[in-house]
């Protein structure tokens, strides 16, 4: 069974500094995808970044990068130059590869609340 | 292109009442799903569909029904609401197969008294 662990219930960072949000996963699948979502206080789920298990390079999307260490089964999110608007809940999620009628369930971690201080 | 839409945004029910949460997407995605979000537990999959006419159970299906008569719509029915179903419900959609990104609707906050 797949499992996602986010060990940091809350994180604090000063504006303009970088912050790393931890995520470890457990799966027996060889092909899987790792996702990070942001959930601001307004409640919507916003997709941030994706990393495939066969991708050799770490994914980057603007100020977001994913530090993927396959052997350690970790997929940490790095936010550079934090902004006040980055204050939100962040979820790490994993999905096994889907094919045919196999859906590929998305399994979520419990989330990390990030607070950016001015 | 509205993406994934959900109605209503908020709902209060009494125990035993039934209701349907609506979900629609205009991206022609084959895969759709319903999740619930409870404090401290992340999101959990309730039901999903891999195409019109095809649905299956997720992690926490009890007390919920779904149907998928069209590609666009995927309603979630609460048969007899219970306080344990107080939660935030998210509908999501994505393209078929592979590891494609999943897009979420804005959510429905449901309270069962």
Relative to beta strand B108-112, strand B10-13 is: parallel
Per-residue model confidence (pLDDT) at position B100: 72
pLDDT, averaged across chain B: 92
Do residue B101 and residue A50 have CB atoms under 8 angstroms apart?
A: yes
Find out whether A62 and A78 touch, Cβ atoms under 8 Å.
no
Residue to test with chain B: of A48, A103, A113, most B Cβ within 10 A: A103
Per-residue model confidence (pLDDT) at position A105: 75
Do residue A43 and residue B33 have CB atoms under 8 angstroms apart?
A: no
Per-residue model confidence (pLDDT) at position A99: 52
Per-residue model confidence (pLDDT) at position B102: 84
Two structure tokens written together for B32: 């759709």
Do residue A52 and residue B99 have CB atoms under 8 angstroms apart?
A: yes
The whole-number average pLDDT for the span A78-87 is 97
Residue B110 Cα distances to A82, B33, B46, B61, B107, angstroms: 33, 17, 15, 16, 10
pLDDT, averaged across chain A: 91
Find out whether A21 and A114 touch, Cβ atoms under 8 Å.
yes
Per-residue model confidence (pLDDT) at position B95: 85
Closest CA to A21 of A87, A104, A95, A106: A87
A106 against B32, higher pLDDT: B32
Which portions of chain B are predicted below pLDDT 70?
1, 97-99
Residue A97 has pLDDT above 70, yes or no: no
Helix (H) or strand (E) holding A106: strand A106-108
A56 against A82, higher pLDDT: A82
Nearest chain B CA: its distance from A23 CA (Å): 13
Per-residue model confidence (pLDDT) at position A51: 93
The whole-number average pLDDT for the span A45-72 is 94
Helix (H) or strand (E) holding A75: strand A74-79
Nearest chain B CA: its distance from A50 CA (Å): 8
| Number of Cβ atoms within 10 Å of the Cβ of B99 | 23
Sequence-distant (6+) residues with CB within 8 A of A89 are A38, A39, A40, A111, A112, A113, A114
Q: Is A43 exposed, middle or buried (0-12, 13-18, 19+ CB in 10 A)?
A: middle
Residue A115 has pLDDT above 60, yes or no: yes
Per-residue model confidence (pLDDT) at position A96: 76
- Residue B2, preceding peptide bond in cis (omega within 30° of 0): no
Q: What is the percentage of chain A residues whose pLDDT exceeds 90?
A: 74
pLDDT tens, position by position, A26-56: 988 888 889 999 999 998 999 999 999 988 8
């Amino acid at each position: 069974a797949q499992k996602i662990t986010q060990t940091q219930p809350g994180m604090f960072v000063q504006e303009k500094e970088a912050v790393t949000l931890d995520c470890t996963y457990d799966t027996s699948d060889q092909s899987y995808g790792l996702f990070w979502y942001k959930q601001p206080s307004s409640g919507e789920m916003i997709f941030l970044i994706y990393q495939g298990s066969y991708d050799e390079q770490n994914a980057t999307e603007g100020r977001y990068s994913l530090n993927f260490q396959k052997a350690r089964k970790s997929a940490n999110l790095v936010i550079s130059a934090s902004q006040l608007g980055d204050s939100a809940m962040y979820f790490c999620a994993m999905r096994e590869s889907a094919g045919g009628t196999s859906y590929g369930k998305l399994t979520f971690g419990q989330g990390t609340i990030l607070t950016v201080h001015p | 292109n509205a993406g994934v839409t959900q109605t209503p945004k908020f709902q209060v029910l009494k125990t035993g009442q039934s209701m349907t949460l609506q979900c629609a997407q205009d991206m022609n995605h084959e895969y759709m799903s319903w999740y619930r979000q409870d404090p401290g537990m992340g999101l959990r999959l309730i039901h999903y569909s891999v195409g019109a006419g095809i649905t299956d159970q997720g992690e926490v299906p009890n007390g919920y029904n779904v149907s998928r008569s069209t590609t666009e719509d995927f309603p979630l029915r609460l048969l007899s609401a219970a306080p344990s179903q107080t939660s935030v419900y998210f509908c999501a959609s994505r393209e078929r197969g592979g590891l494609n990104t999943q897009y979420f609707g804005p959510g429905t906050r449901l309270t069962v008294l």
